[in-house]
Amino acid sequence: GEDVEQSLFLSVREGDSSVINCTYTDSSSTYLYWYKQEPGAGLQLLTYIFSNMDMKQDQRLTVLLNKKDKHLSLRIADTQTGDSAIYFCAERSGNTPLVFGKGTRLSVIA
């Protein structure tokens, strides 16, 4: 089946930028998503990008998509302690359910 890979951990200093990376195998992916999960909480949709886009920016968040390399990244500018959470990358193609990565745990050091 299709697969989504993420590094498991990332640690950054408060005020720096965070870049969380994701690779996927499905060449027919249509939508790619980033979700945030804080401890004890459900999943919060941060942003998503359609596969015909290269970039999407929303306030402190920038999503970059390299469709040729099947690589997605999420950049968080001016990272704050409140950004500490697990970030999940997910993709889907056509009328199929989302496939999630294992999540990247972001730790922000004050």
Partner 1 sequence: SAVISQKPSRDICQRGTSLTIQCQVDSQVTMMFWYRQQPGQSLTLIATANQGSEATYESGFVIDKFPISRPNLTFSTLTVSNMSPEDSSIYLCSVFTSGMYTGELFFGEGSRLTVL
Interface ranges with partner 1 (CB under 8 A): 31, 33, 35, 40-45, 48, 88, 90, 92, 94-98, 100-103
In angstroms, what is the minimal distance from the CB of 102 to partner 1?
5
- CB nearer partner 1, residue 16 or residue 41: 41
Residue number, 16 or 38, with CB nearest to partner 1: 38
52-82: burial string, b at 16+ Cβ within 10 Å, e else: eeeebeeeeebbbbeeeebebbbbbeebeee
The span from the CA of 3 to the CA of 62, in Å, is: 23
* Residue whose CB is less far from partner 1, 82 or 97: 97
Query: What's the N-to-C CA distance of the chain in angstroms?
Result: 40
Q: How far is the CB of 11 from partner 1 (least distance, A)?
A: 18
H helix intervals, the chain: none
Q: Which two tokens stand for residue 2?
A: 């299709």
Question: Considering beta carbons, is residue 68 or 97 the nearer one to partner 1?
Answer: 97
Closest CB 15 distance from partner 1, rounded Å: 29
8 A C-beta contact, residue 61 and residue 74: yes
Quote the least distance from Cβ 108 to partner 1, whole Å.
Answer: 20
